[in-house]
Amino acid sequence: MIKLIAGLGNPGSEYEQTRHNAGFWWVDEAARLLKAPLQMERGHFGLVARASVTGHSVWLVEPQTFMNLSGKSVASVARFFKIAPEEVLVVHDELDLPPGEVKLKKGGGHAGHNGLRDIHAQLGSADYWRLRVGIGHPGNKNEVAHWVLKKPSPDDRIAIAQAMDRSLKALPHLIAGDMDKATALIHTSKPPRPKPPRPVPPADPLQTAAGGGASSPADKG
């Protein structure tokens, strides 16, 4: 069972719509679905909400410590409520997935993600669940820092929102710890394929000859 869901991002209006805040976007919607409003808990260094699901408490967290210190908030809540790493789900932006894809995994490295790096250190374990929300890669590793702190394009934002809607349908299974069902819902949902442009019909040569744009001798004089 998942007892703690943490969404990663940076606090402040200037970061609100940036790619790095995809984890916040997901948890904001989860909080709305669970009717559990997030409130600042300074003792836990973040926005925190408690939801009751089938008689069990589920904690939602959005660290307000900036991304590089995300683990401070996540570990604080986990320690206080005696939540084991395998009962934690961290939702974060993922460079290695295109917008429109979401993947669920347990354990593994942090792949250079500073939020995950700090959670590893603060929890003392990598054995927690991650929901990886695709934001795409700029194509050049030197541009990554700038990329994650920019707003996605309108098309990418739509694709990310659609992927989040699909993955949020797995929320009951995630909380129940039924990861097979959650994975089936999340991973078998393919991002929508862009519609090809409609072909322009070729001009009718008879219509053109009849005066559909070209001048005729009768027009002169």
Q: What are the tokens at 2?
A: 């998942």
Query: What is the C-alpha to C-alpha distance for residues 118 and 75, in angstroms, rounded to an integer?
Result: 10
Q: How far is Cα of residue 88 from the mean position of the Cα atoms in its chain?
A: 17
Grouping H, G, I as helix, E, B as strand and the rest as coil, residue 104 is: strand
Spot the catalytic one: 20, 44, 113, 120.
20
Task: Tell me the pairing of strands 4-7 and 39-41.
Answer: unpaired
Q: What are the tokens at 138?
A: 């700029």
Q: What's the N-to-C CA distance of the chain in angstroms? A: 87
Residue with tokens 């929102």: 161
Residue 76: CB atoms within 10 A of its CB come to: 20
Which residues, in sequence order, are bridge partners of residue 59? 4, 50
Does residue 173 carry a catalytic annotation? no
Supply the residues annotated as catalytic. Answer: 20
